[in-house]
Amino acid sequence: MPLISGTQVAEKVLAECHRDIAALKARGVTPGLAVVLVGDDPASRAYVRSKDKKCRDLGLHSVKLELPATTSQAELLEVVAKLNADPAIHGILVQSPPPKQIDEAAIVRAIDPAKDVDGFHPVNVAKLALEDPTGFVPCTPLGCQRLLIEAGIETKGAHAVVIGRSMIVGKPMAMLLMAKGPGGDATVTVAHSRTRDLAAITRQADIIIAAIGRPYFVKAEHVKEGAVVIDVGINRVEAPDTEKGYKLVGDVAFDEVAPKCRAITPVPGGVGPMTIAMLMANTVKACKQSLQ
């Protein structure tokens, strides 16, 4: 049961970014990423801090904008418009979820698609469906695909079951797995909370991508012998015996599923590190494309 280490693969991706950034700087250009946080959600704040630190570690131009929870839709749109017009910024990310007065979909549509390094703008969603390589793919599914490639998992002709249908992971993951080329050419089934007899479907899978957002949801009964399992879930559960009082677990009941697997990602240390690494890679790509 080999573990697929997201930490190791993320280090490889970041090393590639570091080389590309050095080459861009030699041409007089520094890739720039702006992260906008509205409100003071602790998890979002921690995530933004980690993104900012990674940018600085790589030598990216990093802009972190923290706006009050009372920020209006019009004020946030004005911030996005300024970032769209700033030539030093190549990637824009508005941290989700925003406060309830913000129409998140409208904010996403307001971001210049050429700077939408999260890959959620309708133009980039369409480019993914069209297999247009100039588009930006959401970072988490892109990271999952890279994990499969780096682990030597053959996706061509494989039956992959994606559990979850969100625009953040499930739907783009399915399109990536169906696309032609490395990490693609799979036969894909998308399952979700309304799927009947889920275990009967997932037991047919050579590859399972678990992205349903429920701790320990995927159990041994869902997995056939020799399957590959990518666990996207990051769930906080109570753990009174730990210093923090909680621990992070995946959507997969790791201890009972892992013995059946050809390969599996751990939580933490699996998909998580890949998300930020692919955000950095998307920002470098946006910078390169801005020069063309």
Give residue-wise pLDDT tens across range 108-154: 999 999 999 999 999 999 999 999 999 999 999 999 999 999 999 99
Query: 20, 54, 95, 285: which one is catalytic?
Result: 95
pLDDT of residue 214: 95
40 included as an active-site residue = no
Q: How far is CA 257 from CA 96, 203, 264, 266, 267, in A?
A: 31, 12, 9, 11, 13
Q: What is the phi/psi pair of residue 167, to 5°? A: -75, -15
Stretches where the chain sits below pLDDT 70 are 1
Whole-prediction pTM? 0.96
The Cα angle at residue 89 between residues 43 and 114, in degrees rounded to 5: 95
51 annotated active-site: yes
Backbone angles phi, psi at 21, to 5 degrees: -65, -40
Interaxial angle between packed helices 170-178 and 139-150, expressed in degrees from 0 to 180 and rounded to the nearest 10 = 40
| CB contact at 8 A, 110 and 77 | yes
Residue 252 forms beta bridges with which residues? 218
Listed in sequence order, the residues at least 6 apart from 237 whose beta carbon sits closer than 8 Å to its beta carbon are 215, 246, 247, 248, 249
Q: What pLDDT, on a 0 to 100 scale, did the predictor assign at position 216?
A: 96
Nearest 5°: the CA angle 123, 37, 108 is: 15
| Residue 247, C-beta contacts closer than 8 angstroms, at least 6 positions apart | 236, 237, 239
Q: β-strand 235-238 against 246-249: which pairing, if any?
A: antiparallel
**DSSP run (H or E) holding 107:** helix 104-110
Q: Which entry of 116, 118, 206, 251 is annotated as an active-site residue?
A: 118
Tell how far CA 97 is from the center of its chain: 15
Instruction: Determine the pLDDT at residue 1.
Output: 64
Is 95 labeled as catalytic in the residue annotation? yes
Residue 194 neighbours by CB under 8 Å, 6+ apart = none
3-state secondary structure of 5: coil
Per-residue confidence (pLDDT) for residue 92, from 0 to 100: 98
